[in-house]
């Protein structure tokens, strides 16, 4: 708090969680930085109070940056999100108010695509279930050693992978699919004819993709259009032996419908890195299924990627400080409302 007086001339920046010390140090050359150093996110009231006091915010996807907060943040000029997804931020409202919003695209594509593949394979080959089988003594108790029918899963080669949202992460997951000898089909808002040819993949309407794919992997952002995109009706269209994987946002799937699908055996299994409510309640019915692998939203969680994300947050904030358009600006139209910088 005392440092605020010391660096009075620098714009104030509140970052809602500890980033890497070298990145904070770089930011301190330009900003009077305050970091929320607890493991839990700041409560909304704290966030609102801070937003009213600062010129810049560094946010996480757990921070609700709604219009109420933005309207009261009279000095706020930029929100630099430490994530590629920004469904926690009211972009339209920020743009109207001339507040810049940046995110961290690209630098986390590889990590998230790799995690998607790990999750997909974990479900296909029952990795978590098999680990429990060994660890908790069931294998020992049965004294079978090797058995022809023990823990059988499904093979990927020759199967069809259906990508929903062929963006940065979706297309990388598609490439992995090709490397595994899978047929790859995709659905997106727009057809990507260039990628179809380059990657040897095919476009399908969503319902056709769901009918055809053995593995469905979700990579669309959460928007009004994608909320509960995968609902009961669509889950019913999937193959009985199919697996659904979600590393995008929990609310793209209607979780109640997914529980019903699993309970009634409409599909083989699911791999979920993201959930409608995070943290997921351990008593949630989805936790009862052995054929579901659950992760705590760790798509981008590698040392390399998290550091690159922090660097990109800093690059955006520093560019803005210098009066430049931040490299990964989300609301590009905001430049017509206000010039970048604090002048
Ligand atoms: P991206 O490059 O923007 O890809 C998203 C794709 O979905 C784009 O091709 C986009 O098309 C398409 N799309 C948007 N709305 C659609 C709709 N209504 N119907 C069909 N397709 C639609 O984003 P990305 O970098 O791959 O990231 C994708 C998402 O993954 C993020 O938004 C984030 O929520 C999530 N994510 C999760 C983790 C994790 O930790 N699990 C990590 C990183 C990202 P247009 O470009 O034409 O809009
Ligand atoms: C993580 O979920 C992100 O959107 O970066
Ligand atoms: C399995 O371990 C095999 O040798 O086939």
Q: pLDDT value at position 9?
A: 87
What confidence tens digit (pLDDT) does each residue in 296-320 have?
Answer: 999 999 999 999 999 999 999 999 9
Instruction: Point out the ligand nearest to the CA of residue 104.
Output: 2
Query: In the structure, what pLDDT confidence band is assigned to residue 83 with cuts at 50, 70 and 90?
Result: very high
Q: pLDDT value at position 1?
A: 47
Q: What phi and psi, each to the nearest 5 degrees, are found at residue 337?
A: -95, -40
Q: Which of 17, 126, 168, 249 is catalytic?
A: 249
The percentage of residues in the chain with a pLDDT greater than 70, rounded to a whole number, is 98
Query: In the structure, what pLDDT confidence band is assigned to residue 330 with cuts at 50, 70 and 90?
Result: very high
Is pLDDT above 90 for 3? no
What confidence tens digit (pLDDT) does each residue in 108-127 have?
Answer: 999 999 999 999 999 999 99
Is pLDDT above 90 for 2? no
146 Cα–ligand 3 center, Å: 9
Instruction: Point out the ligand nearest to the CA of residue 171.
Output: 1
Q: Is 167 in the pocket of ligand 2 (CB under 6 A)?
A: no
What confidence tens digit (pLDDT) does each residue in 36-70 have?
Answer: 999 999 999 999 999 999 999 999 999 999 999 99
Ligand 2: atom nearest CA of 249 is 2
Which residue puts its alpha carbon closest to atom 12 of ligand 1? Answer: 165
Q: pLDDT value at position 343?
A: 86
Mean pLDDT score, 184-192: 97
| Cα–Cα distance, 30 to 232 (Å, whole number) | 51
Mean pLDDT score, 274-300: 98
Is pLDDT above 80 for 200? yes
Question: Of 24 and 4, which is predicted with more confidence?
Answer: 24
Ligand 1: atom nearest CA of 247 is 41
The CA-CA-CA angle for residues 192, 193, 199, to 5°, reads 85
- Ramachandran bin of 235, using left for φ above 0, alpha for ψ from -120 to 50, beta for the remaining angles: alpha
| Cα–Cα distance, 101 to 309 (Å, whole number) | 15
Q: Is 312 in the pocket of ligand 2 (CB under 6 A)?
A: no
Place of tokens 């793209």: 252
Query: In the structure, what pLDDT confidence band is assigned to residue 8 with cuts at 50, 70 and 90?
Result: low
Mean pLDDT score, 282-292: 98
> Which residues is 183 bridged to in the sheet?
160
Q: pLDDT value at position 232?
A: 98
Is pLDDT above 60 for 222? yes
| Cα–Cα distance, 81 to 16 (Å, whole number) | 10
Does 297 participate in catalysis according to the annotation?
yes
Which residue puts its alpha carbon closest to atom 1 of ligand 2? Answer: 83
Mean pLDDT score, 118-139: 98
Q: Which of 18, 175, 278, 304 is catalytic?
A: 278
Is pLDDT above 80 for 212? yes
Ligand 1: atom nearest CA of 115 is 41
| Cα–Cα distance, 233 to 157 (Å, whole number) | 28
Q: What is the 3-state secondary structure (H, E, C) of 151-220?
A: CCCCCCCCCEEEEECCCHHHHHHHHHHHHCCCEEEEECCCCCHHHHHHHCCEECCHHHHHHHCCEEEECC
Does 192 participate in catalysis according to the annotation?
no
Q: Residue 339 has which token pair?
A: 């010039």
Question: Of 1 and 204, which is predicted with more confidence?
Answer: 204
pTM for the structure as a whole: 0.96
Query: In the structure, what pLDDT confidence band is assigned to residue 7 with cuts at 50, 70 and 90?
Result: very low
């Amino acid at each position: 708090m005392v440092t605020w007086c010391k660096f009075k001339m620098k714009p104030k920046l509140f970052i809602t969680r500890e980033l890497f010390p070298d990145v904070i140090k770089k930011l301190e050359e330009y900003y009077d930085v305050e970091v929320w150093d607890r493991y839990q996110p700041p409560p909304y009231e704290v966030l609102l109070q801070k937003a009213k006091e600062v010129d810049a915010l560094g946010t996480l996807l757990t921070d609700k940056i709604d219009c109420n907060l933005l309207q009261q943040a009279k000095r706020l000029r930029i929100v630099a999100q430490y994530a590629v997804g920004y469904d926690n931020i009211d972009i339209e409202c920020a743009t109207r108010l001339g507040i810049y919003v940046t995110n961290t695209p690209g630098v986390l594509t590889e990590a998230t695509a790799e995690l998607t593949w790990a999750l997909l394979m974990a479900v296909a080959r029952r990795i978590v279930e098999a680990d429990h089988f060994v660890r908790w003594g069931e294998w020992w108790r049965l004294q079978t050693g090797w058995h022809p029918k023990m823990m059988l899963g499904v093979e990927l080669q020759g199967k069809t992978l259906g990508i929903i949202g062929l963006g940065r992460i979706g297309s990388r997951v598609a490439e992995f699919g090709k490397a595994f000898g899978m047929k790859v089909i995709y659905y997106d808002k727009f057809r990507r004819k260039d990628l179809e040819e380059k990657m040897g993949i095919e476009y399908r309407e969503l319902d056709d993709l769901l009918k055809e794919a053995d593995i469905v992997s979700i990579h669309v952002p959460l928007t009004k259009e994608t909320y509960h995109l995968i609902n009961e009706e669509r889950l019913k269209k999937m193959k009985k032996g199919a697996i659904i994987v979600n590393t995008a946002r929990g609310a793209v799937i209607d979780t109640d419908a997914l529980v019903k699908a699993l309970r009634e055996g409409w599909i083989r299994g699911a791999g979920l890195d993201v959930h409608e409510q995070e943290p997921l309640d351990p008593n949630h019915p989805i936790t009862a299924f052995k054929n579901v692998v659950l992760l705590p939203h760790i798509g981008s969680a590698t040392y390399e990627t998290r550091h690159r994300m922090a660097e990109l947050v800093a690059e955006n904030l520093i560019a803005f400080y210098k009066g430049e358009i931040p490299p990964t600006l989300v609301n590009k139209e905001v430049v017509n409302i206000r010039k970048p910088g604090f002048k």
